[in-house]
Every structure is written in C-alpha cells, then in structure tokens.
C-alpha cells in the first residue's frame, strides 16, 4: 500500500517521523461520511513511502507530536468544523 496525499485522512508528525492513516475508499461527493481512526500502529504507514509503521516508531511519534493534520473535506469547503477535547483525545465533527 502506498500513501498518497489525496487518500490521507490523518497525518501525525513527531520525532522527525511522519505517519499517516490512509483511506481505502474515497467518499462520494455530497454524502456525509464519518470516519473512526484507531490509534494503532497497524492503522498507519510512513508518509511518502507507504511502508508499515512499527510499534516502536509509532510510540516515538506519539511521544512528541509536533503536527496533527486531519482531512476536513475531500470535495468542497466545509461550512463548520467542530471539535471537543476530552482527556487528551480530540473528537472532530464536520458539518
């Protein structure tokens, strides 16, 4: 599996590593989509290379997160993005 910028839903950068969760399917235009991403190394690949992330590498990224990118929209501008931070977890709702 090779990571592409278009398919990335979540990208996390830390400790000089960037890992991404890549969507297997593209959403349909105009149809709301809810995506859950488990924070497990098996759900992420190395940005650009597409190779699997080891548990050690994933923990290195998570121990020092510098950048977190979450794709808000594939096709058009989003009218509203809301998020709730609770117990160090971020929940994002797109409308």
Average pLDDT of the chain to the nearest whole number: 76
Whether the per-residue pLDDT at 3 is higher than 50: the answer is no
CA 4 remoteness from chain centre = 12
Count CA within 13 A, CB hemisphere, residue 4: 7
Q: Considering Cα of 23, then 26, then 27, then 30, what sign does the dihedral take?
A: positive
pLDDT digits (tens, 9 = 90+) for 12-58: 999 999 999 987 777 777 777 777 788 899 999 999 888 999 999 99
Domain layout of the chain by residue ranges: 8-94
């Amino acid at each position: 599996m090779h990571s592409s910028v278009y398919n990335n839903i979540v990208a996390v950068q830390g400790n000089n590593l960037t890992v991404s969760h890549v969507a297997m399917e593209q959403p349909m235009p105009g149809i709301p989509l809810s995506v859950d991403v488990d924070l497990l190394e098996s759900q992420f690949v190395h940005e650009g290379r597409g190779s699997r992330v080891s548990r050690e590498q994933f923990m290195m990224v998570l121990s020092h997160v510098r950048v977190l990118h979450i794709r808000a929209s594939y096709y058009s501008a989003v009218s509203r993005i809301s998020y709730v931070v609770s117990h160090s977890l971020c929940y994002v709702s797109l409308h």
